[in-house]
Amino acid sequence: MKLLLSIFFINSFLIPQIKFEEYFLDKTLRIDYFHTGNFETEYYSIDELIEEPFWGGSKINLLDKFNYGKYKITVYDSATNNLIYSRTYSTLFSEWQTTQEAKSTSRSFNETMTIPFPRRKVRVEFYSRNRKNEFIKNFEYNIDPQNYFIKKERTKEYNSFQVLNSGESSNKVDIVFLPEGYTQSEIDLFKEDCKKFVDYFFKSSPFIENKDKFNFWGVEAPSKESGTDFPGKGLWNRTLLNTQFYTFNTERYLMTTDDKSVRDVASNAPYDQIYILVNTSEYGGGAIYNYYSVCMNNNRFEEQVFVHEFGHGFASLADEYVTDDVSYQNFYELDIEPVDPNLTTLVDFNSKWKNLVDGDTPIPTPETKDYKNKAGAFEGAGYVPKGIYRPMLECTMRSSIANEFCVVCKKAIQDMIDFYTE
């Protein structure tokens, strides 16, 4: 199996530059599926295929080069068996698998992946990581783009608007804001919030230096009621995207399991990243890599949470703080190197940021003033106090300060910006 995996990755990187126009049309094929399992098993089943009008992604970098995330999707041209598209990502299911509930029951999550709309028949393969962080194929599905069962109807069609226009979507990072818990009479508030959060965004580095590489969109999609759900308080509201606090029984974790509705609304604009703004003053948010990000709209910590969560969703940056206020159990294996760019167990430090560490800096690095502004390996990250190390003493992924990404996180973000905008 290891040999096959090695061949898989070697072949992926030896393939010449993919010509978008040869294999794809300038629109999206959305693959909706169910992800079912428990803490040790999983399987996939197809829900439906949907044609969407925009492709917001790169037309140059069609093959993922970062190897982040829990999952990977690969697309092969059926006629030639050429690898023509790939992406890595994570989902709520992967987090749920580490909870106590997953040890006693099975659950299904609806998930979605989008690919450029293929011109010809393709084979789509789904991979997930095993305990050693190796990608193992779990499922494959053959798709004929001429299949008349590919849905073309738009179930949630709304007006979209541009908050910031820097140019053609194919070489920009396109971020779409989705309103959650804004009624029709509050859509103007949503538009104001979009502008407010874009202003926050460009107060932080490295976004400040890359403003011309981003487009921001908004979708005018009202909810029937304001706010969101608070299951732990018995409060339920009729909202479009079905977000809720208390995700996995963590009060501040504000997410949604209704991925279909999220994608339905997002399809009204071209996008690379989805950001849900929730109309609430309660502290909360969340984000998952290449899945979606969530933030409250009216709280004194809104700027910090907004920027922090985007680090998760966009660049696969991990939390660097220590806490027991999460439902995860053994989220990171201490004898395996994490795939997140800003964490290490020192199992393979050479593959991380060792090249950014001064030769006279000890590893592990003591938390003293001598190393306050230096890169090293500081113990305590990924929710646990021992065995996992972060790059610097402080960072936006650890603290409540927005414009404080460490040198390692800045590089990861910059690399991702460059990938989308080449």
pLDDT in tens, the chain (422 residues): 444 444 444 444 454 579 999 999 999 999 999 999 999 999 999 999 999 999 999 999 999 999 999 999 999 999 999 999 999 999 999 999 999 999 999 999 999 999 999 999 999 999 999 999 999 999 999 999 999 999 999 999 999 999 999 999 999 999 999 999 999 999 999 999 999 999 999 999 999 999 999 999 999 999 999 999 999 999 999 999 999 999 999 999 999 999 999 999 999 999 999 999 999 999 999 999 999 999 999 999 999 999 999 999 999 999 999 987 776 777 899 999 999 999 999 999 999 999 999 999 999 999 999 999 999 999 999 999 999 999 999 999 999 789 999 999 999 999 999 999 99
pLDDT of residue 2: 41
pLDDT of residue 348: 98
- Domain ranges, ordered by start, for the chain: 2-143, 160-315
Q: Residue 417 in contact with residue 213, Cβ under 8 Å?
A: yes
Class of domain 2-143: mainly beta
pLDDT of residue 10: 43
DSSP β-ladder status, 214-219 and 173-180: parallel
Q: For the domain bounded by 160-315, which CATH number is listed?
A: 3.40.390.10
Torsion of CA 274, 275, 279, 285, to 10 degrees: 120
Q: Which long-range contacts (CB under 8 A, 24 or more apart) does 351-360 make?
A: 352/408, 353/391, 353/407, 353/408, 353/411, 356/391, 356/407, 356/408, 356/411
